[in-house]
Amino acid sequence: MCGISGWLSSRGMVEESILTAMRERLAHRGPDGAATWVSSDRRVGLAHRRLSIIDLSEAAAQPMHVPGRASLVFNGEIYNHAELRDELELEGQHFDTDHSDTEVLLRGYLAWGLESLLERLVGMFAFALYDHREECVHLVRDRVGIKPFYFKRIANDLVFASETKALFAHPAIEASLDRESFCHFLSFRAVPAPRTLFDGVECLAAGERIEFDLTTSRVSRQRYWDPIAKVEAPPDTVEDARNRLSELLERSMDHRLVSDVPVGLFLSGGVDSAYLLQLMSRRRQGVHTFTVTYPGQDAYDEGGEARRLAEAAGCQHTEVPINEESYAAAQANVAWYQDEPIAAPVCTSVHFLSRAARQHDVPVILTGEGADELFIGYSNWLRLRDAERWNQRLPDFPGRPLRRSAAALGRTVMPWLSPHAEILRRAAAGQPLFWGGSTDFGEKAKQSLLGPAMRSEVPDPYEAVIAPLRRDFLDHGDEDDITGWMSYVDLRFRLPQLMLPRVDKMGMAASVEGRVPFLDHRVIEFVGGLPPAWRGATDPIGKAMFKTIASRELGNEFVYRKKRGFQAPVKEWKSGSFGRRYLPALEAFSARTELFDPSALTALLHQPNDRLYFSLTNFMLWYLIYIEDVLDGRLPEVKDTRSTCPRPEQEEVHAA
CATH number for position 516: 3.40.50.620
> Which pLDDT score, from 0 to 100, does residue 632 have?
47
Average pLDDT over residues 248-255: 98
For 145-161, the pLDDT digits (tens) are: 999 999 999 999 999 99
Average pLDDT over residues 509-532: 97
**If residue 157 lies in a helix (H) or strand (E), which one and from where to where?**
strand 157-161
Q: What three-state secondary structure class fits 613?
A: helix
pLDDT above 90 covers a percentage of the chain that reads 82
Establish how many alpha carbons lie within 13 A of residue 501's alpha carbon, considering only the half-sphere containing its beta carbon: 30
Boundary (domain end) residue, out of 559, 583, 606:
559
According to DSSP, the β-strands at 316-321 and 202-203 are unpaired
Q: Could you tell me if 149 and 201 lie in one domain?
A: yes
**Partners of residue 154 on adjacent β-strands:** 157
Q: What three-state secondary structure class fits 125?
A: strand
Average pLDDT over residues 399-416: 70
According to DSSP, the β-strands at 123-131 and 136-141 are antiparallel
Is 608 a domain residue? no
> Which pLDDT score, from 0 to 100, does residue 647 have?
45
Burial 366-378 (b: 16+ CB within 10 A, else e): bbbbbbbbbbbbb
Higher confidence at residue 416 or residue 375? 375
Three-class HEC string of 405-444: HHHHHHHHHCCCCCHHHHHHHHHHCCCCCCCCCCCCCCHH
Q: Could you tell me if 509 and 423 lie in one domain?
A: no
For 293-326, the pLDDT digits (tens) are: 999 999 899 899 999 999 999 999 999 999 999 9
Establish how many alpha carbons lie within 13 A of residue 541's alpha carbon, considering only the half-sphere containing its beta carbon: 11
Q: Could you tell me if 354 and 387 lie in one domain?
A: no
Reported confidence tier of residue 410, pLDDT bands at 50, 70, 90: low
> Which pLDDT score, from 0 to 100, does residue 369 have?
96
> CA torsion angle for 366, 368, 370, 372 (degrees, to 10)?
170
Q: Is the pLDDT score of 635 beyond 90?
A: no
For 637-654, the pLDDT digits (tens) are: 433 433 333 344 544 433
CA distance 157 to 176: 19
Is 160 a domain residue? yes
> Which domain covers residue 71, as residue numbers?
2-223
Q: Please state, rounded to an integer, the average pLDDT across all residues of the chain.
A: 92
Q: Could you tell me if 110 and 199 lie in one domain?
A: yes
For 452-468, the pLDDT digits (tens) are: 999 777 899 999 999 99
- CA angle 592/593/594 to nearest 5° reads 100
For 336-393, the pLDDT digits (tens) are: 999 999 999 999 999 999 999 999 999 999 999 999 999 999 999 999 999 999 888 7
Reported confidence tier of residue 244, pLDDT bands at 50, 70, 90: very high
Q: Could you tell me if 453 and 508 lie in one domain?
A: no
Q: Is 271 exposed, middle or buried (0-12, 13-18, 19+ CB in 10 A)?
A: buried
Number of Cβ within a 10 Å radius of residue 430: 10
Number of H helices, E strands in the chain: 28, 17
Boundary (domain end) residue, out of 200, 223, 246:
223
In angstroms, the Cα distances linking 271 to 351, 503, 519, 556, 557 are 22, 19, 16, 11, 11
| pTM score | 0.94
Radius of gyration of the chain (CA): 24
Q: Could you tell me if 315 and 429 lie in one domain?
A: no
Is 366 a domain residue? yes
Q: Could you tell me if 350 and 403 lie in one domain?
A: no
Q: 38 near 19, Cβ under 8 Å?
A: yes
Q: Is 608 exposed, middle or buried (0-12, 13-18, 19+ CB in 10 A)?
A: exposed
> Which pLDDT score, from 0 to 100, does residue 630 have?
45
Average pLDDT over residues 20-31: 96
In angstroms, the Cα distances linking 526 to 223, 230, 370, 374, 543 are 20, 9, 14, 10, 15
Q: 61: domain CATH number? A: 3.60.20.10
Write the DSSP assignment of 528-542 as a string of letters.
HTS-GGGGTSS-SST
Q: Could you tell me if 435 and 469 lie in one domain?
A: yes
Is 591 a domain residue? no
Q: Could you tell me if 472 and 539 lie in one domain?
A: no
What are the φ/ψ torsions at residue 69 (nearest 5 degrees)?
-120, -55
Q: Could you tell me if 137 and 218 lie in one domain?
A: yes
Average pLDDT over residues 196-211: 98
Q: Please choose, from the candidates 142, 138, 126, 168, the residue with its C-alpha nearest in 3D space to the C-alpha of residue 29.
A: 126
> Which pLDDT score, from 0 to 100, does residue 395 have?
67
Establish how many alpha carbons lie within 13 A of residue 25's alpha carbon, considering only the half-sphere containing its beta carbon: 27
Q: 330 near 235, Cβ under 8 Å?
A: no
Q: Please choose, from the candidates 223, 253, 211, the residue with its C-alpha nearest in 3D space to the C-alpha of residue 516.
A: 253
Q: Could you tell me if 203 and 247 lie in one domain?
A: no
Is 49 a domain residue? yes
Is 192 a domain residue? yes
> Which pLDDT score, from 0 to 100, does residue 639 have?
39
For 570-583, the pLDDT digits (tens) are: 999 998 889 988 99
**If residue 183 lies in a helix (H) or strand (E), which one and from where to where?**
helix 179-188
Is 201 a domain residue? yes
Reported confidence tier of residue 564, pLDDT bands at 50, 70, 90: confident
Q: Which of 57-66, 388-397, 481-490, 609-618 has the lowest mean pLDDT?
A: 388-397
> Which pLDDT score, from 0 to 100, does residue 397 have?
60
**Number of domains present in the structure of the chain:** 3
Is 69 a domain residue? yes
Q: 537 near 482, Cβ under 8 Å?
A: yes
Q: Could you tell me if 358 and 470 lie in one domain?
A: no
> Which pLDDT score, from 0 to 100, does residue 610 have?
86
CA distance 78 to 60: 14
For 113-149, the pLDDT digits (tens) are: 999 999 999 999 999 999 999 999 999 999 999 999 9
Boundary (domain end) residue, out of 443, 468, 486:
486
Q: Which of 167-171, 189-193, 643-647 has the lowest mean pLDDT?
A: 643-647
